[in-house]
Amino acid sequence: MKEKIHPPYYRTTITCACGAVYNVGSTKKNIRVDICSRCHPLYTGIQKIIDKGGRVERFKAKYGEQGERS
């Protein structure tokens, strides 16, 4: 590797909003994230869907009701 062109590499921690802490190497110190593999629905298998205003109702309001399919 060439000298003096790479940023400094630190041993740092990544802290998730759920409270999980990971020790990794990075060019940034003390990283905070909103979601990680410990709390992400894809990995946990628990899906939380919050339907604000109703998706179907918003679709019908935007496009109107069309006839049923045959």
Which CATH number does 1-46 carry? 4.10.80.400
Cβ count near 60 (within 10 Å): 12
Output the pTM of the full model: 0.54
pLDDT, tens digit, for every residue of 1-43?
Answer: 678 898 999 999 999 988 999 999 999 999 999 888 888 877 7
Q: What are phi and psi of 13, to 5 degrees?
A: -120, 145
| CB-side neighbour CA atoms (13 Å) of 20 | 12
